[in-house]
Amino acid sequence: QSVLTQPPSVSGAPGQRVTMSCTGSSSNTGSYDVHWYQQLPGTAPKLLIYGDRNRPSGVPARFSGSKSGTSASLAITGLQAEDEAYYYCQSYDSSLSGWVFGGGTKLTVL
């Protein structure tokens, strides 16, 4: 049972827009930055969004992040086949004094 709650799966057709959520509490997402990672099959995670809404250099503008209260969202526009992957959110938790991840969302491109 992950501290941060993500939907197990989302799907969309090529070219469409999809969103996925990450819900926490006041001790984590409500007080600290949320970061998002993309994990392609058989590879290490890659930082996709940091500080709720910022993209590292090299990450396409099709990926965007937002946060309101204790919930964060990742949006992907212009869906491409290569976007099929697992997506994880992450934040700091003051109650646990450590970093926590969501359980991950599997994105399927139809």
Partner 1 sequence: EVHLVESGGGLVQPGGSLRLSCAASGFTFSSYEMNWVRQAPGKGLDWVSHISTSGVTRSYADSVKGRFTISRDNAKNFLYLQMNSLRAEDTAVYYCARGFGNFAYWGQGILVTVSS
Work out whether the CA dihedral 95, 52, 69, 23 comes out positive or negative. Answer: negative
Of 37, 55, 76, 107, which lies in the binding site for partner 1, with binding defined by CB under 8 A?
A: 37
Of 13, 41, 44, 58, which lies in the binding site for partner 1, with binding defined by CB under 8 A?
A: 44
Q: Which of residues 16 and 64 has its CB atom nearest to partner 1 in the complex? A: 64
- Binding flag, residue 13, partner 1 (CB under 8 A): no
User: Binding mask 49-68 vs partner 1 (x if CB under 8 A, - otherwise)?
Assistant: -xx----x------------
Question: What gap in Å lies between CA 41 and CA 56, rounded to an integer?
Answer: 21
Question: What gap in Å lies between CA 95 and CA 83, rounded to an integer?
Answer: 34
Cβ-count burial of 8 within 10 angstroms (0-12 exposed, 13-18 middle, 19+ buried)? exposed
Question: What gap in Å lies between CA 16 and CA 11, rounded to an integer?
Answer: 10
Question: What gap in Å lies between CA 78 and CA 64, rounded to an integer?
Answer: 12
Q: Which of residues 13 and 43 has its CB atom nearest to partner 1 in the complex? A: 43
The residue range among 19-27, 60-68, 72-80, 84-92 that interacts with partner 1, by the rule CB under 8 A, is 84-92
Would you tell me which residues interact with partner 1 (CB under 8 A)?
2, 32-33, 35, 37, 39, 43-47, 50-51, 56, 86, 88, 90, 92, 96-104
